[in-house]
Amino acid sequence: MKDTMVAYIQELEALMDSVMEHELDALDQASELVANCVETNGIVYTFGTGHSHVIAEDVAFRAGGLVPVDAILEESLTGNSKVFQSMYMERVEGMAEVILDYYDPAPNDVLIIISNSGRNASPIEMALGAKQRGLNVIAITSLRYSKGTTSRHSSGKKLYDIADVVIDNHTPLGDCILSHPGIPQPFGPASGVLDMVLLHTLIVGSINRMAEEGKNPPVFMSGNLDGSDDINLPLLEQYRGRIKIW
């Protein structure tokens, strides 16, 4: 049993090595877009359906992370409840336009979309709508998965066709990285681990970029450290009313 767990970790490490080898340029480009957004008083929006919403949510209101991050969490798409329903709702066109109208992003904002397959209607429509509104779009996806499936959007496009920067998590078609002769389907999903690392790496890169340029990036201090209110409350006031997840 321990051998299987070790194998899972080793497969994740191999994927991480592949990301390190091939995705640093894309991460650097994406970090520049995010840094420029924050420097021009913009908001960094994150969006994902199903399990991908967990990745989007993890960088919002986060100790050590950027302050102006707003995770778009539409309950009918996240799978927090009514999971079976959300699986079908993410395939429905029209929802993303309603969501974007509600958030009303500005052209200097950035939208980061996490979608492993990149094939469902909601992430694709979010990307198309954001581009129409003048936003830069960053995709975190699996190109092998996406290119191995058909689009569920009427345009025939996948998420990677639309995004300004595509960050490939290198996970396989179907996401899972382990198999067993006694189990007909593969198991051990990898995208959640890889996507979490990629998104935090992107945020870290943007923070460092701003600091290297002599700017003062708005970064949350852990609320459980003494003196954190002195740092965090002025930053919260600066963006109050603009970030809906707060």
Which residue from 62, 5, 2, 11 is spatially nearest to 202, judged by alpha carbons? 62
* Residues 166-194: tens digit of each pLDDT: 999 999 999 999 999 999 999 999 999 99
Q: Is residue 1 over pLDDT 80? A: no
Q: Using a cut of 0.85, tell me whether the model's pTM lies above it.
A: yes
* Residues 58-78: tens digit of each pLDDT: 999 999 999 999 999 999 999
Compute the average pLDDT of residues 92-96: 94
**How far is 72 from 95, CA to CA, in rounded Å?**
13
* Residues 227-237: tens digit of each pLDDT: 999 999 999 99
Task: Give the rounded percent of residues in the chain with a pLDDT score beyond 70.
Answer: 100
pLDDT at position 33 is 98
Q: Where are the domains of the chain?
A: 22-239
Reading the block at residue 243, the tokens are: 């970030």
pLDDT at position 93 is 95
> Strand order in 136-141's β-sheet?
69-72, 44-48, 110-114, 136-141, 165-168
Which CATH number is 22-239 given?
3.40.50.10490
**How far is 200 from 203, CA to CA, in rounded Å?**
5
